[in-house]
Amino acid sequence: MSTNNICKFISKINEDNIYTKNFVFEKSEKTFTNTFPENNSIYLVINGKGNLTINGFSYKLTSGKIFYTFQKIPYTIESTDSLKYMYITFNGKRSDELFTRFGVSVKNCVFDGHEGIISFWQNAIIKAGERNLDLISEAVLLYTLGEMAPSNPSDESLLINSITKIIDDNYTDVELNLQTVADKLGYNSKYISRVFKDNMGVTFSSYLTNVRIQNAVFLIEQGVTAIKNVALLSGYKDPFYFSSVFKSVTGKSPRQYIEDIKK
């Protein structure tokens, strides 16, 4: 396969079901940021190393990893060691249904252990031409989704979904922490901690912190400028501790963030 970048575009699109827009092989030593993606995309890392940052979280990229980016959700792909990857952009009314069926979401978007389909993707893009590109790219997309899906959702996958739902529903509760979630679900907190880190790539504490600080940023941008109120509405009863955490995550204190918005 050629080591040069390859980008092939589909000329005719049917938006009623699911449709692909292009099929790309990319090699990069740079950092790429898309602040407002128009499409969903599925990626397969061919070789090299890099990082994906999306929804406030960072994931390491290595050969054989599949990852997704989503329409209207900003992301950054950083190459740290000759990162090479292929991707297919897609949209259509069936996209959300497929994401739900196979457990793909912005909080569960990176999947390991797919080195076995690298040659399949490479052969597919070589064979794709103007007359069959839509068929081949759609076939690769659907095959990959089907290949990565377990026959039944694993116990750990169901547990992760339960944990993230509790966080999303209760992050404003100042008493919410690893132990309270473990107690609610009837699991040992150490087990919850390990399973969460293994599946999500970040610790429970880091995930909860990011959810809370994202909410704090949203509140500030909506005009809530009393730091004590922002802290309480984001799950922090101590505004001084909240300010410290906010700065460690965003690089700015809440007061600095508020002043920057006013400019």
- The pLDDT tens digits for 144-157 are 988 876 555 567 88
- 225-242 per-position pLDDT tens digit: 999 999 999 999 999 999
Q: What is the DSSP letter of 105?
A: B
CATH assignment at residue 197:
1.10.10.60
171 shares a domain with 129: no
201 shares a domain with 86: no
Given a cut of 70, whether residue 191 has pLDDT beyond it is: yes
76 shares a domain with 25: yes
- 1 within domain boundaries: no
What average pLDDT does the structure give for the chain?
89
Domains identified in the chain, total number: 2
pLDDT at 3: 59
* Last-in-domain residue among 148, 168, 197: 148
161 shares a domain with 140: no
Helices (H) and strands (E) in the chain, counts: 10, 8
d(CA 23, CA 127): 11
Among 26, 52, 180, residue whose Cα is nearest residue 111: 52
* Last-in-domain residue among 148, 164, 197: 148
pLDDT at 7: 62
Lowest-pLDDT range of 3-17, 41-55, 92-106: 3-17
Given a cut of 60, whether residue 111 has pLDDT beyond it is: yes
175 shares a domain with 81: no
pLDDT at 33: 94
Q: Residue 60 is part of which domain span?
A: 6-148
Helix (H) or strand (E) holding 125: helix 118-127
237 shares a domain with 161: yes
pTM for this entry = 0.57
160 shares a domain with 138: no
Give the model's confidence band at 126: pLDDT under 50 very low, under 70 low, under 90 confident, else very high. Answer: very high
137 shares a domain with 19: yes
Give the model's confidence band at 15: pLDDT under 50 very low, under 70 low, under 90 confident, else very high. Answer: low
Give 248: exposed, middle or buried? Use CB within 10 Å, 0-12, 13-18, 19+: exposed
Positive or negative, the CA dihedral 249, 252, 256, 258 is negative
